[in-house]
Amino acid sequence: LLKKMNQDVDELDALVQEMLLYSRLERNAATPDIALQPVPVESWLPNAVEDEIEAAQAADISIPVAVAANVADAACEPRYMARAVQNLVRNALRYAKSRVEVNVGTREQRYFIEVDDDGPGIPEADHSRLFVPFARLDESRTREPNRSGGTGLGLAIVQRIAEWHGGNAVISTSSLGGARITIEWPQRALPAPVAAAD
């Protein structure tokens, strides 16, 4: 009973935190207060999802993280983009059987971050609905029957962060057999850092 109570408290805390973040994103939607900067993806990404990697390993799920050779720095707001990727990986872990993959690359002058899982997949009819706040799939689709299906805000937050970067998020079918959720946003030239005066 105590374990269940602690789990309920953790879920409520997660819901409150997600609601506060989503409210902040919505309040600033018209004039986002973000500063894009060059982020070294190869070191930034594993650090961003460190906790999620540990959770995957504890659940006996492999979670390789791959960055394409042609991607060095990506222009983004690192804190918000990290949150978007964390939400995608947490979502994938709820449905994965044994594997989640995170891949970063570029195509057609756009960065992309793809998160794949080998779970049951998402029906095409539900793709756009899952970016609506508080939308959730049937909890029977989760990897464990007693596992939380999430707050229903995670993917709405992902979409808002992607839009802030001039991009979007989309759901498709993964080659692993489950779902693939992709964030894409335009590549941008950023000014070079100003050298410090001698």
Task: Give pLDDT tens digits for 169-180.
Answer: 999 999 999 999
Q: Under 8 Å CB-to-CB from 86, ≥6 apart: which residues?
A: 48, 49, 51, 52
Q: What is the DSSP letter of 32?
A: -
What predicted TM-score, i.e. pTM, was given to this entire model? 0.77
CA 122/CA 130 separation, integer angstroms? 10
CA 65/CA 113 separation, integer angstroms? 10
For the stretch 12-71, pLDDT in tens is: 555 556 666 656 666 665 556 678 889 999 999 999 999 999 999 999 999 999 999 888
> Which is nearest to 58 in space by CA: 153, 163, 144?
144
CA 68/CA 121 separation, integer angstroms? 25
User: How much of the chain exceeds pLDDT 90, in percent?
Assistant: 49
CA 83/CA 21 separation, integer angstroms? 10
Contact 85, 102 (CB under 8 A): yes
Mean local confidence (pLDDT), 83-105 = 94
Question: Strand ranges (DSSP E) for 50-193?
Answer: 65-67, 73-76, 100-107, 110-117, 168-173, 179-186
DSSP letters, 77-93, are: -HHHHHHHHHHHHHHHH
Q: What are the φ/ψ torsions at residue 172 (nearest 5 degrees)?
A: -145, -175
> What's the whole-number average pLDDT of the chain?
80
> Which is nearest to 117 in space by CA: 145, 95, 139?
95
> Which is nearest to 122 in space by CA: 130, 133, 114?
130
